[in-house]
Structures are given as structure tokens and as C-alpha cells.
Amino acid sequence: MTVRTPGAATAPTEARRSGDPADVVRALDLLAGRRLVVLSGAGLSTDSGIPDYRGPGAPARTPMTYQELVSGPAAQQRYWARSHLGWGRMRSAEPNAGHRALAALDPDLLITQNVDGLHERAGSRRVVALHGRISEVVCLGCRETTPRAALHARMDALNPGWAQAQGEAETRPDGDVDLDDTAGFVVPACATCGGVLKPDVVFFGENVPAPRVQRCFDAVDALGDEGALLVVGSSLTVMSGLRFVRRAAKAGTPVVIANRGVTRGDDLATYAVDVGCTEFLTALL
């Protein structure tokens, strides 16, 4: 179990984590009745059938970077062919009991690294989609945003029978799929200006928009020592989420991390417990 005063630097190890039910209860007791800011990650959506590619046993993969996407038509064809197939499946995913528990807990702010929109569909009200939403598309030329469903229909019309011909390629949490043969996939351009389209999500190699980050910092700062930051289902691999844990710990705000597997924030947490998201959140509720 990790019980410590914030500030000391220790490398995260498996030994710092605990799956002991008594430690889970202590973590739940610490959170009970406190004002909360919650940071959620891919682990929360695995029970909705969206795989967590950073979770235990997940295969290594390298997502397409922003720089690669804008490198030319071949990369855009490769990206959109896979994403088209992945989104056709992702959009049928439903919120699970963990999403519903968080909606009922109604934290001060729910920061999610997930792009699947399931928190909003479960009824959560104050949500910051840190990495954007896969259900929206942005034009890199005129910056117009449009619904993904409309682009999906255009792609289906331009590529008749293509999705059905791809069989059982594996879906990834960012709406991508494992697919090698993407030659021949027709990629539509922006209907307004002819520009390159991108899902309105933050790619690797892009920064989260500053006002979005500031809103999260403000909510974490407002917690003080009477609130708590709860991290569920994130290994905190990317700085976009880890910085909120650092911010809270530096301010003396308790941090609880509930995740399957080690996280980069374990050494900053008051409790880091090895537990499933749905199980932990329904117990907290």
C-alpha cells in the first residue's frame, strides 16, 4: 500500500500498490464525503468493450502522430480507413456501471482522457474531455467542427461495402483498428473548404488546448486539503493527466489512484490501490 506525505520522490513500483481489500476500504473512507475532482482513463471504458491498450497484457502500439497525419494523403488514407472502421464499432459502445456511478457521484469536475463520450452519455454534467471527442471532426483548413456521424455516412457512401469486407480487425480505445491494407480507401475532404479533416481529438505530438488545461487546474486548486483528487483507470503514462496529480500533491490535496496495474503517479498518491474501476466506483457510491 502507498501511504505517504506528498512530496517525497520515489520511483513507482509494484510493491507500492495494494489490492488488499482493507486498503481499498481505507481509500474509500478517505474519499467519502469529500469534494472530488476525478480523472478517468481508458480502464473505465474496458467494461464497455473498448480495450485499454496500456493496461496489463495489452500489446504495444504506436498511435499515429499529428505530424504523420499532416504529412500527406497516404497517411490520411491510412488513418481514416482504420478510424472509420473503429468508430463504426466504438459508437455502439454503452456506458457501464462505473460511468453511471460517476454521474451519480457528481464530482466538482470530471476530467477524462477518454474520447468515447461515455461519461456524457451516462449523464455526467461537468466534464472536460481532455483529449477531445471522437464524435466530432475538425477541419485543419477552416477549423470548422462537424459531427462525426455525418462524415461516417459520407465515408460509407464513398467506400461502398468496404467496412463489411474488413472482418474482425481489433478495435482500439482511440477508435482506431489494426488494419494493414488501407489502399483504395477514399478519404473525403472538408465540404466547406476542401481542407484536411481530423477527428477533434488531441493526437500525440499535439498539445491539449491551454484553456482546457487551465479549467482542470482551477478545479484541482479549489480542492485544498478538504477535497481529494481521484484517478480511476489511468496509468498516467502521458503528462496531460499526470500534471494534475502533481498539482494536487504539491498543494497537499489527497490523491487516490484506483487502477489495474502500476501508474506513474503512485509515488504521489495517498493511496494507490489495485482494483477494477467499476468495482471501486460502485463501492464509493
216 annotated to bind ligand: no
Judged by CB under 5 A, which of 193, 222, 239, 285 binds Zn ion? Answer: 193
Catalytic residue among 84, 99, 131, 152: 131
Take residue 284 and report the three cell numbers written for it: 464509493
Assess contact for 238 and 131: CB atoms under 8 A: no
Query: What is the signed CA dihedral for 46, 49, 52, 57, rounded to 10 degrees?
Result: 90
Assess contact for 284 and 28: CB atoms under 8 A: yes
Phi/psi of residue 39, nearest 5 degrees: -115, 120
Q: Is 152 a catalytic residue?
A: no
Nearer to Zn ion, 160 or 194 (CB): 194
Judged by CB under 5 A, which of 15, 25, 74, 142 binds Zn ion? Answer: 142
Nearer to Zn ion, 51 or 141 (CB): 141
Give the amino acid at 98. Answer: G
Window 61-100: contact mask with Zn ion (x via CB under 5 A): ----------------------------------------
CA proximity to 41, closest of 143, 224, 174: 174
Nearer to Zn ion, 67 or 192 (CB): 192
Judged by CB under 5 A, which of 1, 27, 81, 190 binds Zn ion? Answer: 190
CA angle 66–204–46, rounded 5-degree value: 125
Q: Which residues of the shown chain bind Zn ion in the complex (CB under 5 A)?
A: 139, 141-142, 190, 192-193, 195
Q: Which residues are catalytic?
A: 131
